[in-house]
Amino acid sequence: MSYKIFQTLVYQMRGVIKCEFGILDENGIIIACSDESRVNSFEMNYQTIIQDDEQITKIGKYVYEKVIIKNKPELIVYITDVSDEYVNYLRLLAINAYNMKSLYDERYDKNRFIKNIIVNNIMPGEQVIRARELHLDINAKRVVFLVNTDKMKEIYVHDILQGLFPNKSKDFIIIIDEENVALVKELRQDDGAEEIDKLAKIIYDTLSSELMVKAQIGVGVCVDNIKDLARTYKEAKEAMVVGRIFESDKNIFHYSSLGIGRLIYQIPITMCELFLNEVFKENSLDILDSETMVTITKFFENDQNVSEASRELYVHRNTLVYRLEKILRNTGLDLTKFDDAGIFKVAILVKKYLTSKEEL
C-alpha cells in the first residue's frame, strides 16, 4: 500500500504533538515520522517490541504501541515522551493508523472486490472502474470453482487452495461460508474444458489426500469479462445442487455437462408430480425393489442389450427377460422399446428430484 497516507496523518498531528513520533511497518521500517530524515530507516528496538507480549512497550524515552489488525501486528506507532499526556497522543495515533490501514485495505483488497462481484454486492457500473483502480485485467478468461466440504474445514481448505494457486494477483480464494470456498481462477486463452476438468481433479485429489475430507466441486462456465463473474459463480452453485441430485456418485459437477438434470431442475414441482403420477399409476414405481432397479440400470448401461446386461449381472438371459416383463406388468412400460425406456429414465430422474426436495 502507499505509505504517503500515513505521512499525511503525521503532518496533521505534528501541530499538536511537539515531540518526535512516527509509524513503523510490520518489518520495523519507519514509514512515516515527524522527523522526515528518519523515514525508511530501521527501528533498532523492533525485535524487542515484537517479542513483548504487551501491546504497549516502553524503552528509554520511547513508547511503542502495536496496531493489531486481523490478530497480528500490522503497524507499530511510537512517541518519544513517556508522560501520560503523550501516551494518550500515542493511543490516538494508533487508532487513526488502524482506521486508515483498515479502510485502505478494504478499498484496495482485490479478494474483497472479487467477492463483492460474485455475490452481486457491487453495482455493475462500478465494477469496471474499481477493476481498473486495482489493476485487474477486465477481459481475462476466468472460471469459478465452488468447493464444498464439511463444516469447520473452510480455513484449511482456503490454505490448501492458496498453496495450489499462489498467484494472488490473478487467482482469488474466497470463503463463502463455513462449508463453501470459491476459487476464481484466471485461465490462459487456449485453456478449454479438458484443462478446467484437470484443475478440478487436482483440487479434489489434494483435499482428499492432505485434509482427508470428501469434497464436492461445482464448476461454472468460462467468462471473458469481469462483469460476468457473478454468472459463472451462480452456475457453479447450480452445478453443485443439480449434480448432487442426479449424479450423486460423482464429486465434480460441471455446469456445461448437467444434461437433462438441469432441465428437470427448472420444471415446477407440481408439473413434476403430475408427470410422475401419469407415468407410474397407483404408485407402481414403489413396487420396484432395489434388485429390479439395479437390473434396469445395468440394462440401460448396455444400450438395452439383454445378452450383455445379463452377462454383467451374472444372471441367465431368461432371468433378465423375466424381470423386464415384471416391470412391464407393474408399470405398463416395455423397456426394450426406445420410447418407453426414455420415459422411464426421465421419470426416475424426476423421482430423484422430488425426493431431494422432500429431504430439505
* pLDDT at residue 287, rounded to an integer: 67
What count of other Cβ atoms lies within 10 Å of the Cβ of residue 344? 20
The angle, 0 to 180 degrees and rounded to 10, between the axes of the packed helices 4-13 and 84-108 is 150
What residue segments make up the domains of the chain, in order of their start?
Answer: 4-108, 110-261, 267-359
Q: Which fold has domain 110-261?
A: Alpha-Beta Plaits (3.30.70)
Work out the angle between the directed axes of helices 110-118 and 124-133 (0-180°, nearest 10). 160
Per-residue pLDDT reduced to its tens digit, 89-99: 999 999 999 99
Task: Assign domain 4-108 to its CATH architecture.
Answer: 2-Layer Sandwich (3.30)
Contacts of 239 (CB under 8 A, 6+ apart): 146, 218, 219, 220, 253, 254, 255, 258
Angle at 138 between CA 136 and CA 139, to 5 degrees: 130
Using CA atoms, how far apart are residues 252 and 247, in angstroms rounded to an integer?
A: 9
The residue among 239, 267, 284 whose CA lies nearest residue 354 is 267
Cell of 198: 484437470
Q: Is the pLDDT higher at 52 or at 2?
A: 52
Backbone φ/ψ region at 350: left (φ over 0), alpha (ψ -120 to 50), beta: alpha
Q: Given this chain, do its domains 110-261 and 267-359 carry the same CATH topology?
A: no
Number of residues written out for the chain: 360
From the list 66, 19, 17, 76, the residue with the least C-alpha distance to 42 is: 76
Sign of the CA dihedral 118, 124, 126, 132? Answer: positive
Q: Which amino acid is at 34?
A: S
Query: Tens digit of pLDDT for each residue in 251-309?
Result: 999 999 998 998 999 999 999 989 888 888 766 676 677 788 888 888 888 888 989 98
What is the average pLDDT score of the chain? Answer: 89
- Among 226, 2, 223, residue whose Cα is nearest residue 126: 226
The per-residue pLDDT for range 113-140, each reduced to its tens digit, is 999 999 998 888 889 898 988 889 999 9
Which fold, 267-359?
Answer: Arc Repressor Mutant, subunit A (1.10.10)
Cell digits for 303? 444400450
Q: What is the pLDDT of residue 283?
A: 65
In the structure grid, which three cell numbers stand for residue 336, read together? Answer: 426394450
Start-to-end CA span in the chain (Å) = 46
Q: What is the pLDDT of residue 156?
A: 81
Residue 11 has pLDDT above 60, yes or no: yes
Q: Check: pTM over 0.75? Answer yes or no.
A: no
What is the model's pLDDT at position 143?
A: 96
Residue 329 has what pLDDT? 84
In the predicted structure, residue 155 carries a pLDDT above the cut 70: no
